[in-house]
Amino acid sequence: MTSLETAPHPEKLRRVAIDPLSRVEGHGKVTLLLDENDHVQQVRLHIVEFRGFEKFIQGRPYWEVPVMVQRLCGICPVSHHLAASKALDQIVGAFRLTPTADKLRRLMHYGQILQSHALHFFHLSSPDLLFGFDSDVARRNIVGVAAAYPEVARQGVLLRKYGQEVIRHTAGKRIHGTGSVPGGVNKNLTLAERDELLKDIYPIIGWCRDAVHLARRLFEQNLEEYNAFGRFRAHTLSLIRADGAMDLYHGGLRARDMDGGTIFDHVDYNHYWEQISEEVKPWSYMKFPFLRALGPQHGWYRVGPLARVTHCDFIPTPLADRERMEFLAYDGGSVAGATLGYHWARMIEMLHAAEAIKELLHDADLQGTDLVVSGERQERGIGMIEAPRGTLIHHYRVDEHDQVIRANLIVSTTHNNQAMNEAVRQVARQYLDGRKLTEGLLNHIEVAVRAFDPCLSCATHALGRMPLRVELIDAGGDTIEVMMRGGAGEGVAPH
């Protein structure tokens, strides 16, 4: 079986482009090269925009960075807000925040995990899962879900809303707030704000449990297909708490190989480049990170919910941990390697986020007034966090005039670059090889991408839901067929 990354004689092959991918944030495309018998010879996931933020924050004052870089994304801006803040904590010498600041940031982060996972699962992916990957495209969207499964859609919308309210009370706004500043936070949680959030947290936890069970049920109903869909073996990477617990806000780096063996554990992320490097490939603007110890060929890895749920030792909230154990035990542990296992793992994390929010809301430290600390000024700052889609690294250098002189951001999408490529290649082999292409078949490719990441914007910086345009071009470069559909996924007649 070939890797499908590069065909030996691409000039003789037909090219099909899924450009751009729909129901994802940001601009990505998948290109397929097919021979005369419709056999797939090459598959590539491209991130077609360039990175801009690393350049245009150069020269800006460092305290502006957490507010500016969160504009990378509209789905999980809090990840960038907090990762940048953690890096700048080091710049201002704040190596240990006050309990109030630390817990408020955690609350903000878990609010974001909740809303982002809800959006990912319910709004963007559930249409594929509930209706089928090649179902009627006209209803394969959140509006279709609301019509056919009104209670599922309602809970999805309200779960996201609750997460957004947590963010609003901690960051000042539901999206692109300013709550986290270098060295701490700029507000605490008032009793009125706490009570407002506490009022709804118990039904939210209940709905999160229902969501885990829904994800599991969908898997069970299609066990064979889901288990095989885009399946591949990969190493895993995430932050982990000192005691091995899942911790999405802070920890050391843990990497495990595809058999579950430890590659490294509890590594201080301030030296991440000693463990992780990035490879540039000529056909993509997005780099390909790899574990140095294993090299670029074999060192690529998976990040995100599937990686985190499978290689943490436990989840430190009871309901989510019970679900984790059932997830790992299910069908001999097969789910842990399945691309669609991401959704199930994602819902377990959403349940954990809801439980963590409940615990934090009962903590009186959130009403503390000691918000910011500082210490000896540093030139370099590195912040790392587990964003909804996976590990996120922010790395800055700041000069003596307080201006940023260098920035490096390695976002979750980039960590998963090779893994997503593997998934779409696997799906192409399984579903497209030797068959006449249809919209439904091509959607299988997008289902694989959406399992990882609905928001390529972190790596691309283009916003908006783009229409899908598929072009079939023969070996001579002539267009044989063009298929188009609108941004909401509705079908448009071929022309």
List the one residue out of 400, 401, 392, 413 whose CA is nearest residue 87: 392
Q: Do residues 214 and 347 touch, judged by C-beta distance below 8 A?
A: yes
Task: Give which of 316, 346, 365, 357 is closest to 167, Cα–Cα.
Answer: 357
403-422 positions binding other proteins, by CB under 8 A:
403
Interaction of residue 172 with other proteins, rule CB under 8 A = yes
Q: Does 401 bind other proteins (CB under 8 A)?
A: yes
Query: In this chain, which of 55, 96, 154, 173 binds other proteins, going by CB under 8 A?
Result: 173
User: Which range binds other proteins by CB under 8 A, 41-49, 175-183, 211-219, 407-415?
Assistant: 175-183
In angstroms, give the least distance from the CB of 50 to other proteins: 18
348 touches 305 (CB < 8 A): yes
CA distance 230 to 74: 28
How far apart CA 339 and CA 462 sit, in angstroms, is 25
| Binding flag, residue 54, other proteins (CB under 8 A) | no
d(CA 429, CA 179): 47
Q: Does 20 bind other proteins (CB under 8 A)?
A: no
Q: Which of 15, 39, 60, 469 binds other proteins (CB under 8 A)?
A: 60
388, 79 Cβ separation under 8 angstroms: yes
- Three-state SS string over 174-202 comes to CCCCCCEECCEECCCCCHHHHHHHHHHHH
Of the candidate residues 243, 402, 474, 481, the single one contacting other proteins (CB under 8 A): 402
Residue 154: which residues within 8 A CB-CB, separation 6 or more? Answer: 146
Query: Nearest approach, Cβ of 68 to other proteins (angstroms)?
Result: 4
Nearer to other proteins, 123 or 169 (CB): 169
- Tokens linked to 254: 């843990």
For residue 90, the one-letter residue type is Q
The span from the CA of 11 to the CA of 8, in Å, is: 9
Strand arrangement of the beta sheet that strand 390-398 belongs to: 380-387, 390-398, 404-410
- CA quadruple 326, 331, 337, 339: dihedral, nearest 10: -90
Candidates 236-244, 387-395, 400-408, 443-451; binding stretch for other proteins (CB under 8 A): 400-408
Q: Which is nearer to other proteins, 59 or 486 (CB)?
A: 59
User: For residue 330, which amino acid is it?
Assistant: Y
> Which range in 55-63, 214-222, 359-367, 384-392 contacts other proteins by CB under 8 A?
55-63
Judged by CB under 8 A, does residue 63 bind other proteins? yes
CA distance 333 to 314: 16
Residue among 63 and 273 whose Cβ is closer to other proteins: 63
Supply the minimum distance, in Å, between the C-beta of residue 365 and other proteins.
18
Contacting other proteins (CB under 8 A), which of 31, 178, 270, 334? 178
Q: Which of 305, 412, 421, 416 is nearest to 353 (CA)?
A: 305
At closest approach, how far in Å is the CB of 62 from other proteins? 8
Binding of other proteins at residue 181 (CB under 8 A)?
A: yes
Nearer to other proteins, 193 or 422 (CB): 193
Q: Of these, 35, 38, 49, 64, which contacts other proteins (CB under 8 A)? A: 64
Whether the CB-CB separation of 269 and 249 falls below 8 Å is answered with no
Residue 179 found at the interface with other proteins (CB under 8 A): yes
Does residue number 187 form part of the binding site for other proteins (CB under 8 A)? yes
Q: Is residue 67 near other proteins by the rule CB under 8 A?
A: yes
Q: Does 358 bind other proteins (CB under 8 A)?
A: no
Cβ closest to other proteins, residue 65 vs residue 335: 65
- By CB under 8 A, tell whether 186 contacts other proteins: yes
One residue of 39, 71, 161, 281 binding other proteins per CB under 8 A: 71
How far is the C-alpha of 378 from the C-alpha of 90, rounded, in Å? 7
53 is an interface residue for other proteins by CB under 8 A: no
Report the interface residues with other proteins, using CB under 8 A: 59-61, 63-64, 66-68, 71, 92, 171-173, 176-179, 181, 186-187, 372, 401-403
